[in-house]
Amino acid sequence: MFTEHVHSRAQARDTSRIKVLSAAEELFVRHGFASTTIRQIAESAAVSVGTVMAVADKNGLLVEIVDRKIASIQASPFDVPIAQDSAAEIIDILGSFVRFFAAQPDLARAYTAILVGGKHPSVIFAELTGVLVEQVSKVLTRAGHPAADASATARIIHRAYLGEIFIWAGQGNPNPDSTLTELAKTVRYLVNGKAA
Model confidence over 120-139: pLDDT tens digits? 888 887 788 888 899 999 99
End-to-end CA distance of the chain: 68
Of the chain, the percentage scoring pLDDT greater than 90 comes to 41
pLDDT score for 77: 47
- Average confidence (pLDDT) over 103-127: 85
- Mean pLDDT for 141-167 is 90
Give CA–CA dist 22/25, Å, rounded: 5
- The answer, yes or no, to whether residue 78 has pLDDT greater than 50, is no
Mean pLDDT of the chain: 85
Q: How many residues does the chain have?
A: 196
- Please answer whether residues 186 and 160 qualify as being in contact, where contact means their C-beta atoms are separated by less than 8 angstroms: yes
Nearest residue to 114 (alpha-carbon basis) of 63, 64, 163, 170: 63
Query: Using 50, 70 and 90 to split pLDDT, how confident is the model at 3?
Result: low
What's the CA gap between 44 and 126, in Å, rounded?
A: 31
Query: Residue 127: what pLDDT?
Result: 83
52 exposure class (CB count in 10 Å sphere: 0-12, 13-18, 19+):
buried
Greater confidence, 67 or 171?
67
72 pLDDT above the threshold of 90: no
Are the beta carbons of 50 and 99 closer than 8 angstroms?
Answer: no
Q: Which residue has the higher pLDDT, 180 or 25?
A: 25
pLDDT at 166: 81
Query: How high is the pLDDT of residue 7?
Result: 55
